[in-house]
Structure 1
Amino acid sequence: MRLLLIQPREAGNNVTCVPSKPAPSRPRLKSTARDIQERLAKCEALLQEHVAVDDSSQTRSGQGGTTTSSNDIAPASSETIGESARTHADGDLWVTLNDEICKMKNLMEQDQPEVDFSEENASDDFTGYKSLRFTNCPTLDPITAFKLWQIYLERVNPLLKIIHAPTVQPLIVSTTADIESTPLDQQALVYSIFGLAVLALRSDEITNMLGAEKQRDDFLQEFLTAVSVSLAQFGSPGRYNMVVLQAQIHTSIILMGQCNKHAAWVLSGTLVRIAMSMGYHRDGTHLSLSPFETEMRRRIWWQIVFFDIKLGIDSGLTHSSVPEHFDTKSPLNLNDADLFPDATDPLVHKEGPTEMAFVIVITRVSAYLLDKKARQAMEANIFGHGGDRGSIDASLLNHNRLLVQQLDADLVDIERRFIPSAASKVHAAALGIRPHLIRRLHDMMHPMQESPDWGTDVLSPRDSLFKLILSSCENASNSYDSMDRWGFAWYIRLHFNFDILASLATFLFHSPANSLANRGWAVLESLYAKHSLLDTHRPNAAVTPSQFILKAFGERERVLAEMGEIVDVPELIATLRQMNQLHTLTPPTSTKANPWTAVEWISGDFMHDDGTQRSEGFMPQADAGKGFSE
């Protein structure tokens, strides 16, 4: 700015006016249009490079014979339709199971019109969160908080490994003193950690540690609501980070533990999208990230992949949200103590046992489950045909056989290098995965005509499926015993599928008196005892299977009586009949609570006020992927 010296005007008309000098010309600003064009040209060049790389990778995949178009195979599909809900399945296995369950419901509704099996009435209300105006955050005294943190470290963390315990522990210490001053995303993580710890507690431990005033579900409700509110308040533009992903993975697992697999599946799909927007589907080495952040992103990504695939299978859906092409490497065999946020040297596998044993095995299993052809071959073998395509494709079966052989060999190598012995509880749990898994995969690989029971108990695809469901339940019962001994029973309960239980009861109704039926009734009693399904506070998801079981046993009594055999009533049936007389097996009345309040922040408004997107794309931003656990 020019400062002009103004002199007082003299009186008279002889004053000479001197014009001021013109201001120096300013430098011409760069044209905004030209700047935009240059930026656009750079983006187009980068896009062309990306397309070229993607085309070449698809060409290589096609040459290897591993790429399958989604339109190549049109799987069967079914919809179980209720008054206000629709359950869709597009895999042959769950199409058949859903049809069997639907027929059983129709049969029971004819005999017992007062029983309502509609999805709305029978749905779990564990996730009926309160309004986001929730202000009373759960409060725990420091001693209880540290006990829950220790439970998480001993029972949960070894099976997930999505946090870096040495950097999270100071946060636990600080939040026990004043959680209100803790950043909102970190509040959400702490609440989710405490929620998972509660999920991992035994019933007697909940009473001793948290008191008898509330049940497990009450505490989980409070923690999930706190997570929801914290993340909703934190969800300002572009605020997705590693801490948010960690908290939401915990939330999805808690929903699974509450038998709300469909809510967990929807949330897991959202997590895949958020992780991809942050570039988690690309290995950190390609994004110039630090070794620490690269390794943590690998752990988080592969847990998201595993749970999305697992929940999709449980929900009867063959398509996963996980992209077909990603290059995120498997996590390394390293303890948390080997990871330092400021480290710059590349990380390598550590030979011998570490904390990562279980996760490394699960990661390899996840890689196998990603193959759609393998799952299709399994279903074809189970049903003894190729679905609508006639005979089973030999190349499909051979493809799966080679995958299983490679999986077995890789797991053996992992055990040799990283789990030479049961050095700890988590190593014992990791060593128990391969024998059960490979045995079940081999059973499903063999066509039903090659089954030892063919011609006796297995005479049709229905019988073959009955045997598979029975074996699955027996495996769940055996796995529970082992995992309970090591302190990880919660993990088996987490993956327990009540639809499988309902399916088993359906098959027992149609096959009431053969050797498979005897095995089925034995495993039912075992599962009900181990999963506390006869307790007063049991998941509502157990209502339908319980009704089916009573119907199936009534048919078994009738058939055995006609054969002149004496029928002993198991304790399971006696208890269920008593509960039925007390009307505790009737599905609860419908509630209008919105079960999605807790995740509305994630599926609702993704836009700024000016209409721009909140997500910043998959390239790392200033705050993307950075939190206290880094």
Structure 2
Amino acid sequence: MLATLSGTSETAPPVTEKITRGHSCVLCQQRKVKCDKQKPKCGNCIKARAECIPSAPTLPRRRKRRLAETDLAGRLRKYEHLLKTHGIKIDDEELEKPEPQQPQLSDDFGSGGDRVMSMMAPRGRHRVKGSLFADKDKSASFYQFHLSSANLPSTLWENLRDEIGDVKESLQGSSEDESNDGGFFPNPESLLIGHGSSKDLSSMHPNPVHIFRLWQTFLVNVNPLVKMVHAPTLQQTILDASEDVRNIPRHIEALMFSIYFLAITSLQNEDCLSMFGEPRNILLARYAHGTQQALISARFLKSLNISTLQAYVLFLLGVRSIFDPHSLWVLTGVSVRISQRLGLHRDGSNHKISPFDAEIRRRTWWQIVFLDGHSSKLAGAGFPAWLAKFDTQIPKNISDSDLSPTMKEPPQDKEGATEMIFCCLRYETAQALRTSRTTTNIDGSWGIASGSSPELLAEKDKAIDALEARFEKQFVQHCDPSIPLHLLTIYVAKSVICTMRIMAHHPRQYPDKGASMSQREKDMLFTESLKEMEYDSLGYTSKSVRGYLWHISSHFQLDAFIYLISELRYRTTGDLVERAWQQIKFSFENRPEMITDTKNSLFLAIGNLALKAWAKREEAMGSYQAPPRFISMLRSHRNIPDPPKPLAEIQNADPYSMPHTTDFSKEPPPPPPQDSNFTNIEQQWGNWNPNPDVDINMPEITPVDWAYWQTLMDGDLPAWNGDTGGEFNGGQQW
């Protein structure tokens, strides 16, 4: 047995060993056959009589742990903060460098030790710098209007690339990572998410004297343009509340803080220093924070008190120049839902509501209608569909003295100028666009209509002519230009008609983008655009409407501005051309960010277009003429030198150096001069003679909301190299 076992043990074949842990030899790998991995040679190598070389083992792949973008962004901000606190400069620091007058953090304003950050900062930091597209690999692209052409009504200038004609590359998409990380911006989400429990805001109220100053500022600068509240009633409420700020009802406190905030918004920095002894940005931060907290404390999303809703709407009017357009659009939508919950979309005359309450509800509802319509345009969302589904009447053209909480009968609508004249003009405009959607083929959007058939154009012109006649009869003829509100009403009434004519006849309405337009129609568009830009300049330069600049600055008509510059590539001589270049100069001076912010694709595109138009003008003039300062600055920011100055041909240093601060507070503006090329154009300004009153020192203004245009762009313009190119030699292309 032992022998048998021993013999078996001796004759048994040796145990085979693997080469390495499961790896084939080199030859088997090359031949892509299965290797039996025997040692010293595998079966395939024995058959092939080849050397069996084991393959080198490779390290197993490690799956990289991908951090969430929010984690990466958070870490990056933390590290940048640490570097900055130790005095170390960051390579991209200039991208985040605040502009002059950048507000600083403001310490405790008396709300439990909270630290309030200033909410006023250059709009360029959070402006949508991109197209309708976000990054292609992000699901958020849908919400950045990736499918806007299919799902949202198109707006007039949905693609600035066609107007400029020079787009080479797509813009970088905007994303939610932009904008509110800097800490100097308000946080739109905080209104809906909140800051936790209610807080005592009594220490954030100004002293009684300042409360009354803010209220008076609101009455002069804001209330005439908004007219939601009944001033006599609210004034007594505010006076009573200022005596004991610790026991103010929450809805009244929210309304008071929104009044503080909007009053400061309407002032300039020097006014704030003289009236309150503090800089404007500090006061804005304080009262914006106070308004947000007061709204949260008042449970504004659930409140059934109309004063709370009014406070929310006033707050939205104040943050139009701060919040990005998409956030603002969402927040104005919240105001629509709250007002519908309160039943404001149904006229009070059809329900058992007192005449006084019914009128206040109408005022509040129509302010929301206009606010949401404007924010929809800025966000590129087109005409709000819900606007066709309400029956609330336009507020009556009456002053607050004609209203009383105790009145039993509804007040009678008045003819002529009242405190409501400006608001009624705006509401009539909105109503005209709204009703045109259902009664005509006009699409009713916040830029009238699309289509270029002769029948549709005639229908548009007829509707615009009728509206112009109604404006003249109902508003303009009753205005006294020496009254600031009336002067602004005249400007707006005229400007609205210009806007509608431009929209109705714009080259974008044509399938060939204007190639088949008659010269007469082009002349009409040029004249209307010029008139509109002159009204815009008057809004900035008339001293009597200085208090309304907070409103004027947010309604710059860029359609007319871009059309005017584009036409100046082909129109190089004539009185109207000189007048047009004067208005281009004024617009750049009133909005210097169009020159200095070359990282903004929209401003870059506009500047490039202006430079090309000026180059065409220089070619047509033949002789050297020193360019105006804004052209030199545009060239400087693009590293383009001015042409050399021939010693024998130097003319005036700046043909557009005259001051443009004419005050038409006494008389409306004069008509544009008649040009030989425009003999068929009807002059619609009348025989008005100006009363010049020069005011050299222009006040600071809040930068206009350019995000509408920035949102609509889907291309980028490279810095122009000074070449006028040959693309302008043929017919105009849009």
TM-score with structure 2 length normalisation?
A: 0.55
Partner Cα distance (1:569, 1:364) in 2 = 43
**What is the match of residue 398 of structure 2?**
334
1:97 equivalent to 2:163? Answer no
Once the two structures are superposed, what CA deviation does each residue of 1:426-469 show, in whole Å capped at 9, x if it has no partner? Answer: 23332343333334434554576999xx9999889999999877
Partner Cα distance (1:461, 1:545) in 2 = 27
1:392 equivalent to 2:450? Answer no
Seen in structure 2, the aligned counterparts of structure 1 residues 382 and 247 have a Cα distance that, compared at 3 Å, is closer
User: Offset of 1:382 from its aligned partner?
Assistant: 9.0
Q: Work out the number of aligned pairs and report it.
A: 481
SS in structure 1 of the partner of residue 195 of structure 2: coil
**What is the match of residue 356 of structure 1?**
420
1:258-337 matched pairs, under 5 angstroms:
258=322, 260-337=324-401
Which among 495, 501, 526 is matched to residue 436 of structure 1?
Answer: 495
Residue type at the aligned position of 2:554? L
User: Offset of 1:339 from its aligned partner?
Assistant: 1.4
Once the two structures are superposed, what CA deviation does each residue of 1:55-82 show, in whole Å capped at 9, x if it has no partner? Answer: xxxxxxxxxxxxxxxxxxxxxxx96213
Seen in structure 2, the aligned counterparts of structure 1 residues 311 and 567 have a Cα distance that, compared at 3 Å, is farther
Between 486-495 and 240-249, the greater mean CA deviation after superposition: 486-495
Residue type at the aligned position of 2:372? D
Which among 551, 556, 559 is matched to residue 496 of structure 1?
Answer: 556
Partner Cα distance (2:175, 2:560) in 1 = 17
Which among 217, 221, 235 is matched to residue 155 of structure 1?
Answer: 221
Which among 628, 634, 640 is matched to residue 570 of structure 1?
Answer: 628
Partner Cα distance (1:374, 1:432) in 2 = 28
User: Offset of 1:315 from its aligned partner?
Assistant: 3.4
CA contact (8 A) 1:156 1:196 kept: yes
Once the two structures are superposed, what CA deviation does each residue of 1:221-280 show, in whole Å capped at 9, x if it has no partner? Answer: 332322222222221884232112211211221122337433333222222222122111
CA contact (8 A) 1:448 1:461 kept: no
Partner Cα distance (1:237, 1:485) in 2 = 35
User: Offset of 1:151 from its aligned partner?
Assistant: 1.2
Seen in structure 2, the aligned counterparts of structure 1 residues 436 and 561 have a Cα distance that, compared at 3 Å, is closer
CA contact (8 A) 2:415 2:474 kept: no
1:408 equivalent to 2:468? Answer yes
Which among 78, 82, 96 is matched to residue 134 of structure 2?
Answer: 82
Partner Cα distance (1:92, 1:179) in 2 = 49
TM-score with structure 1 length normalisation?
A: 0.63
User: Offset of 1:197 from its aligned partner?
Assistant: 1.0
1:395-544 matched pairs, under 5 angstroms:
396-415=456-475, 419=478, 421-422=480-481, 424-446=483-505, 472-482=532-542, 485=545, 487-496=547-556, 507=566, 511=569, 514=572, 522-531=582-591, 533=593, 543-544=600-601
Which among 176, 190, 204 is matched to residue 270 of structure 2?
Answer: 204
Seen in structure 2, the aligned counterparts of structure 1 residues 93 and 534 have a Cα distance that, compared at 3 Å, is closer
Which among 172, 188, 192 is matched to residue 254 of structure 2?
Answer: 188
Seen in structure 2, the aligned counterparts of structure 1 residues 364 and 513 have a Cα distance that, compared at 3 Å, is closer
CA contact (8 A) 1:466 1:507 kept: no
Return 5+ residue gaps in structure 1 as ranges.
Answer: 1-77, 110-115, 582-630
Tell which structure's C-alpha radius of gyration is larger: 2
Seen in structure 2, the aligned counterparts of structure 1 residues 506 and 224 have a Cα distance that, compared at 3 Å, is farther
**What is the match of residue 6 of structure 1?**
none
SS in structure 2 of the partner of residue 81 of structure 1: coil
**What is the match of residue 221 of structure 1?**
285
Partner Cα distance (2:598, 2:618) in 1 = 32
Residue type at the aligned position of 1:355? E
Between 400-409 and 190-199, the greater mean CA deviation after superposition: 400-409
Partner Cα distance (1:243, 1:254) in 2 = 17
CA contact (8 A) 2:164 2:605 kept: no
Between 373-382 and 423-432, the greater mean CA deviation after superposition: 373-382
User: Offset of 1:423 from its aligned partner?
Assistant: 7.3
Cα-Cα RMSD: 4.6
The structure with higher relative contact order (CA 8 Å, sep 6+) is 1
Partner Cα distance (2:237, 2:173) in 1 = 46
User: Offset of 1:312 from its aligned partner?
Assistant: 2.4
Partner Cα distance (2:402, 2:361) in 1 = 16
Partner Cα distance (1:364, 1:182) in 2 = 37
CA contact (8 A) 1:305 1:322 kept: no
CA contact (8 A) 2:396 2:413 kept: yes
CA contact (8 A) 2:540 2:546 kept: no
Return 5+ residue gaps in structure 2 as ranges.
Answer: 1-129, 640-734
CA contact (8 A) 2:186 2:323 kept: no
Once the two structures are superposed, what CA deviation does each residue of 1:380-439 show, in whole Å capped at 9, x if it has no partner? Answer: 9998xx3xxxx6272x4444344323323332342389x364573323332343333334
Partner Cα distance (1:272, 1:541) in 2 = 37
User: Offset of 1:512 from its aligned partner?
Assistant: 8.3
Residue type at the aligned position of 1:392? S
Seen in structure 2, the aligned counterparts of structure 1 residues 465 and 244 have a Cα distance that, compared at 3 Å, is farther
CA contact (8 A) 1:512 1:555 kept: no
Seen in structure 2, the aligned counterparts of structure 1 residues 551 and 334 have a Cα distance that, compared at 3 Å, is closer
Seen in structure 2, the aligned counterparts of structure 1 residues 171 and 100 have a Cα distance that, compared at 3 Å, is farther
Partner Cα distance (2:467, 2:527) in 1 = 24
Partner Cα distance (2:446, 2:363) in 1 = 30
Once the two structures are superposed, what CA deviation does each residue of 1:174-226 show, in whole Å capped at 9, x if it has no partner? Answer: 444443421222222111111111121134213323445x443x433332322
Seen in structure 2, the aligned counterparts of structure 1 residues 171 and 503 have a Cα distance that, compared at 3 Å, is same
Residue type at the aligned position of 1:478? L
User: Offset of 1:481 from its aligned partner?
Assistant: 3.4
Partner Cα distance (1:121, 1:576) in 2 = 30
Identity within the alignment, %: 25
Partner Cα distance (1:416, 1:557) in 2 = 37
Partner Cα distance (1:344, 1:183) in 2 = 27
Partner Cα distance (1:190, 1:310) in 2 = 25
Residue type at the aligned position of 1:186? I
**What is the match of residue 547 of structure 1?**
604
Between 455-464 and 182-191, the greater mean CA deviation after superposition: 455-464
Residue type at the aligned position of 1:82? A
Partner Cα distance (1:416, 1:571) in 2 = 37
1:562-601 matched pairs, under 5 angstroms:
566=624, 568-575=626-633
Seen in structure 2, the aligned counterparts of structure 1 residues 525 and 334 have a Cα distance that, compared at 3 Å, is same
**What is the match of residue 212 of structure 2?**
146
Seen in structure 2, the aligned counterparts of structure 1 residues 577 and 313 have a Cα distance that, compared at 3 Å, is same
Partner Cα distance (1:423, 1:519) in 2 = 26
SS in structure 1 of the partner of residue 132 of structure 2: strand
**What is the match of residue 248 of structure 1?**
312
User: Offset of 1:165 from its aligned partner?
Assistant: 0.8
Seen in structure 2, the aligned counterparts of structure 1 residues 322 and 204 have a Cα distance that, compared at 3 Å, is farther
Residue type at the aligned position of 2:299? G
Partner Cα distance (1:487, 1:91) in 2 = 35
Residue type at the aligned position of 1:231? L
1:132 equivalent to 2:195? Answer yes
1:165 equivalent to 2:231? Answer yes
Residue type at the aligned position of 2:605? F
User: Offset of 1:513 from its aligned partner?
Assistant: 7.7
Partner Cα distance (1:449, 1:524) in 2 = 22
Partner Cα distance (1:491, 1:559) in 2 = 35
Once the two structures are superposed, what CA deviation does each residue of 1:336-363 show, in whole Å capped at 9, x if it has no partner? Answer: 1221112212321244432111122222
Residue type at the aligned position of 1:571? R
**What is the match of residue 119 of structure 2?**
none
Once the two structures are superposed, what CA deviation does each residue of 1:129-167 show, in whole Å capped at 9, x if it has no partner? Answer: 677159585442333222221111011111111011112
Seen in structure 2, the aligned counterparts of structure 1 residues 277 and 450 have a Cα distance that, compared at 3 Å, is closer
